[in-house]
Amino acid sequence: MSEQKRLDGHVVAITGGATGIGLVTAKVLAGAGATISIGDLDAEASEKAAAGLGEGHLGLPLDVTDNESFKGFVERTETELGPLYGLINNAGVMFLGPLDEEAEAVTDTSIAVNLGGVINGTRIAMQKMRPRGRGKIVNIASQAGKAGLPEGATYCATKFGVVGLSESVRRELRGTGVEVTCVMPGPVQTELGAGIGAARGMAHLRPEDVAEAILETFFRNRAEVWIPSIAQALSVPAALMPVSGRDWMMRALKADSVLAGADHARRSEYEKKSVQGS
C-alpha cells in the first residue's frame, strides 16, 4: 500500500459488511489505515468481522430498511469512532426468476434492501457530511442497473434506482466537498452471486477486485466505476443503438442468459434465508 493510498484517521462505515464484498472491502480499507464500522443484520457476524480486522474497529447490528436503525448505527459509529468520513452502501439481496412468479415478499424485500436501504444511508450520510464540507458516499449498484436482464426484473429495477439516486445526489452535492460514486460490478464470486452466469468473454469477479476499486474511489473522484472497465466501453455503442440493436448485442454476448440461466438449486438456500420475515 503506497503512502498516497492511505486512509489513516478516517472513519468508514460499511453496510452488509459481515460477508462477501462488504467484508473484503472492510479488510482492504482497514489495511489502508481506515477505522471501520461494520453494520449487518447479523449482529454476531458483524462483531466477529470487526474483531477480525484488529483493534479499534466496530461491529454493530443494522437493518438498512429501518431508518431509525440506520440512524442509530451512524450515531453509535460517530460516538465510538469519530466523525463519519465514508459510507459504503453495500447491503443487498438478489432473487431470480420470472416476475409473474415472484412472491410479494420477495419483491418487497428487494426494494426495501436494495433501494430503500441505499436511500436511507445516503440521506443520513448527507445530513452528517454536508455541514462538515467533506465525505464520501459509495453506493454499490450493478451492471444490472444499466441493462434490464431477463428473470431479474425487480433486482434490475432496484439497481437502476441506485444508479439514478447516485446521479441525482451527486449533482445536489456539487461544490459541497461531499463526493458520491456509484460502483457497478459484473457477477462476483459471492453467496449472492452463486449460480449465475457471465456474459461472453467476461469472467466472474473476485470480491477483492471490487474492494480495490472501492478503495480507489477515495483517492480518485469518479461518478461511476464499472468493474471490469471493458463493460463500460461496450455500453457506449449499445446506448446509441435502437432497441433491436441492443437486444441483438445482449444475445450475441449471452448477457441475456446471465440471470435467466442461473442454477436455482445452488441459489435456493441463499434466497430462502434472504427474504425478510423468513
pLDDT in tens, 201-226: 788 899 999 999 999 999 999 999 99
Residue in 184, 252, 251 with CA at minimum distance from that of residue 224? 184
Domain that holds residue 228: 3-274
Residue 81 · residue 11 · CB < 8 Å: yes
pLDDT of residue 200: 81
Grid cell at residue 206: 473476485
Alpha-carbon distance of 147 to 140, in angstroms, equals: 16
Alpha-carbon distance of 52 to 160, in angstroms, equals: 34
First to last CA, the chain: 42
155 as an active site residue: the answer is: yes
Q: Which regions of the chain are under pLDDT 50?
A: 1-3, 278
Residue 159 · residue 142 · CB < 8 Å: yes
pTM: 0.92
Beta strand residue intervals within the chain, DSSP E: 11-15, 35-40, 58-61, 84-89, 135-140, 178-185, 224-227
277: left (phi over 0), alpha (psi -120 to 50) or beta: left
pLDDT of residue 4: 65
pLDDT of residue 237: 67
Torsion of CA 39, 42, 43, 48, to 10 degrees: -90
pLDDT of residue 21: 98
Q: Domain containing 162 — which CATH number?
A: 3.40.50.720
Q: How far is CA 129 from CA 90, 121, 126, 137, in A?
A: 18, 12, 5, 9
Catalytic residue among 155, 160, 218, 226: 155
Torsion of CA 61, 66, 69, 71, to 10 degrees: 130
Per the structure, how many domains does the chain have?
A: 1
User: What is the DSSP secondary structure assignment for residue 204, as one 8-state letter?
Assistant: P
